Chain A
Amino acid sequence: MSASTLLDRIWDAHIVAGATPVVDGAEAGELPDLLYVDMHLIHESTSAQAFAALGREGAPPAPRRAELVLATADHTVATGIPLIAGASVPAASGGTTAQAALLERNAAAHGIAFRGRGSGRQGIVHVMAPESGLVLPGMTLACGDSHTSTLGAFGAFATGIGTTAVGQVLATQTMWMVRPKVLAAEFSGTPPPGVEAKDMVLALIGRIGGAGAQGHAIEFRGPAVRRLPMDARMTLCNMAPEAGARAGMVAPDDVTFAYLQGLEFAPTGALWDEALRYWQSLRSDPDAPFARRVGIDVAQLAPMVTWGTTPAMSAPIDGHVPLAAASAAPEETADALAYMGLQGGERIADLAVDVVFIGSCANARLSDLRSAAAIARKGKVAAGVRAIVVPGSERVAAAAEREGLRRVFEAAGFAWGAPGCSMCVAMNGDQVAAGERCAATSNRNFRGRQGPGARTHLVSPATAAATALVGRFADARTMA
């Protein structure tokens, strides 16, 4: 048997059919396979048109396997945080948004499990799904959302799809997909204190570029990944699309199994034993055919801050904003700097922020909040800074409240919001005003992402908290 990657093992076990069309001039590896989807996750902003497609153009009127679908509302739900003037707010009635209410009706009509606000299990789809044990090694998962890659941290193949494909998964429980190549990202060394998974993955994206992993899945490997808890592995995989990757993956190990054991939907008894035996076989062979390898020594890393309008535009906290003329792409850099209100050459640590956002599927799990709170308890949010914390799910929120983290944040002057995507995508009214500078733990710093004219700098939770206290980008390593 030829050597395989982790991705190959999962892929091969899910092929329903090879590509059927006979097309002139198709190249090897160009045609998609029809893959079975073990769990289909749904949120309100990319699903309405997919439900509407059921019963049309030959599609069946009902989902094929409603019990393999899980729905929640996250993109549009209110956090209860005071909105800035002029924020655009989604249409709402009866305490929910129109889109979330429509999803709830669609789910009820088709017998799909819906985890709404107040259920105790609602949250950002990529945060709430794994908490219940519905994300297991060896599974395929799809969701109408690019950051579905997050779930590959369990040793699963998890990928974002568009709304037409969401309709296909509802109708057939399958998706057409071209097998990605695999980029092995090998992390070695021990990270200095204050350097987190977010910094590791921003460093990788900075190294290979925003399209550096196009057509690939990234397998995060090496001793520095093995040492990370599941929350941090999810942060790595979450950011894989920011390097252009279709998926992120980490081979499952004892950390994974310990996380899963005892969760609501995880197997038990003999089924657990059977599953565990299989899961232990899920890894890339030593001589696996990786299309590309990139090595990063985490001992050399510092906390990272993005300065531009793609996640690949980043610098260490003790570094400088680049000069456009000195960069590899002067025009693009100049455009990004102009949007960000920067000249080039500034010290990162001199940039003052107006807003700090701790949240999103990149960094709003319990260990992220712990890391931020450990800094927040050392001071008060700087005058003039609006700092908010939005936990990733109702379970995270409840656990953080039990541990007293909410009290720590509120005592320091952070606002605490109800779970959802919030200021990551600014669809629910939580947004950054035009021209304001925001340190955000989310995953995208695109123009206008956090509101028209908003200037987003991506950072880790520790850096975000330190920055909130200082009012300028601050080095969490000096505050630990």
Chain B
Amino acid sequence: MTVRNPIAGTAVLLEAPNIDTDQIMPKQFCLRTDRVGYEDAVFHEWRKDRGSILNDPRARASPLLVAGPNFGCGSSREHAVWGLLDFGFRAVVAPRFGDIFRANAGAAGLVTATVEDDAFAALVALLRENPGTRLALDVVAQQLAIGASAPALRVRIPAFHRHLYLGGHTETGLALHHDAGIREHERRRPAWMPTTLDGAPAGAPRST
């Protein structure tokens, strides 16, 4: 994955609060077993409305999604993140996110940035007025620049996610560095911890 910073371009505005992952990725698409090709699935019901901003040709070219508070609440389905990425988004800016959605986004390389409520209200007003405004999200500086002249907004991106995104790391890769620590922990695990091996005494170690 090539690191792109800042993430600059136009934004799609979905200002409703509490957009849950059932809306972002309807369940029928969670029957798929691939990890790519979710661009047509994302917001599938919403896009049946021809007037939806998501059907505007500019939407597919917008790297930024500006969304209402509590975006991504509900189901843990990571398909929601894959759909947003496949559609073309690189970052979502919102006042608050669902916890699991945010963790999933960080792991999959979709940047999530929070803004203060009043800054969000100003951003919404601006994008309503002028939907073609260009924004630039600087992941390092944690700033969202608006248009050419307005002062940049302060945003927060979790430090661990900045590290993953900017360094091109995966969470699994970082965990694998701790193999010695994992082994050490396994040596200390209590013997009563269960395994799924039928008939084995609880906690019996398995040779590896």
Chain A contact residues, CB within 8 Å of chain B: 14, 16-17, 19-21, 23, 25-27, 30-32, 34, 36, 38-39, 45-46, 48-49, 52-53, 57-59, 64-65, 67-70, 75-76, 88, 90-91, 97-99, 102, 112-113, 133-134, 136, 139, 144-146, 160-165, 167-168, 171-174, 176-178, 180, 210-211, 214-215, 241, 244-246, 265-268, 271-272, 274-275, 278, 310, 329, 332, 335, 425-427, 444, 446-449, 452
Q: A246: nearest residue on chain B (CB-CB)?
A: B99
Chain B residue with Cβ nearest A279? B192
Q: Which of B30, B172, B178 contacts A57 (CB 8 A)?
A: B172
What's the count of A-B pairs with C-beta under 8 Å? 241
B116 within 8 A of partner (CB): no
B22, B35, B185: which contacts A447 (Cβ < 8 A)? Answer: B22
Would you give 28 A-B contacts (Cβ < 8 Å), ordered by A? Answer: A16-B178, A16-B184, A16-B185, A26-B159, A36-B185, A36-B186, A46-B77, A49-B33, A49-B35, A57-B170, A70-B196, A97-B31, A113-B198, A144-B78, A162-B103, A162-B108, A172-B176, A172-B178, A244-B98, A267-B194, A271-B191, A271-B203, A275-B190, A310-B18, A335-B16, A426-B27, A427-B30, A444-B22
With A31-B160, A211-B69, A446-B20 as known contacts, state yes or no: A173 contacts B182, CB within 8 Å. yes
- Tell me if B108 and A146 are in contact (CB < 8 A): no
B131 in contact (CB, < 8 A): no
A38:B100 contact, CB within 8 angstroms? no
Of chain A, the residue at the smallest CB distance from B17 is: A332
- Which residues of chain B come closer than 8 Å to A23, judged between CB atoms? 159-160, 162-163
- 7 nearest A-B residue pairs (beta carbon): A162-B104, A26-B159, A162-B78, A48-B33, A275-B192, A21-B163, A113-B196
| Interface residue B132 (Cβ < 8 Å from any Cβ of A) | no
- How many residues on the B side are at the interface (Cβ–Cβ under 8 A)? 71
Please tell me if the beta carbons of A446 and B78 are within 8 angstroms of each other in the complex. no
Q: Are B203 and A102 within 8 A (Cβ)? A: no
- Report the separation of the CA atoms of residues A168 and B51 in the bound assembly, to the nearest whole angstrom: 40
- Chain A residue at minimum C-beta to C-beta distance from B70: A211
**Given the known A-B contacts A16-B185, A17-B178, A265-B202, are A274 and B192 also in contact in the complex, defined by CB atoms under 8 Å?**
yes
> Is B26 an interface residue, CB under 8 A from the partner?
yes
Question: Which A residue's beta carbon lies closest to that of B158?
Answer: A30
On whether the beta carbons of A25 and B142 are closer than 8 Å, the reply is: yes
For the complex, what is the distance from the CA of A416 to the CA of B175, rounded to whole Å?
45
CA distance A401 to B172 in the complex (A): 45
Distance of B50 from chain A, by nearest CB (Å): 17
CA distance A139 to B192 in the complex (A): 10
Contact yes or no, B18 A162, CB < 8 A: no
- Provide the B155-172 mask, 1 if CB < 8 A to any CB of A, else 0: 000111011000100111
Which residues of chain A are near B52, meaning CB under 8 Å?
A: none
Is the pair A446, B23 in contact by a Cβ cutoff of 8 Å?
yes
Residue in contact with B172 in the complex, picked from A31, A88, A139, A172, CB distance below 8 Å: A172
Bound complex: CA A174 to CA B195 (Å)? 16
Chain B: CB-nearest residue to A60: B176
Distance in Å from the Cβ of B199 to the closest Cβ of chain A?
Answer: 10
How far is A448 from B74 in the complex, measured between Cα atoms in Å? 13
Contacting residues, chain B, for A310 (C-beta < 8 A): 18, 20
Residues A134 and B194 in contact, CB atoms below 8 Å apart: yes
What's the nearest-Cβ distance from chain B to residue A44, in Å?
Answer: 9
- Minimum CB–CB distance from B76 to chain A (whole Å) comes to 4
Q: How far is the CB of B116 from chain A (nearest CB, A)?
A: 15
Q: Are B26 and A448 in contact (CB under 8 A)?
A: yes
Query: Does B81 interact with chain A (Cβ within 8 Å)?
Result: yes
Does chain A have a CB within 8 A of B73? Answer: yes
Question: Are B178 and A67 interface neighbours, CB within 8 A?
Answer: no
Determine how close the nearest CB of chain B comes to the CB of A39; give it in whole angstroms: 7
With A49-B34, A214-B99, A267-B202 given, can you name 15 additional A-B contacts, CB distance below 8 Å?
A: A14-B185, A26-B160, A68-B195, A98-B31, A99-B31, A99-B33, A146-B75, A162-B100, A174-B178, A211-B69, A211-B73, A274-B192, A278-B190, A329-B17, A448-B22
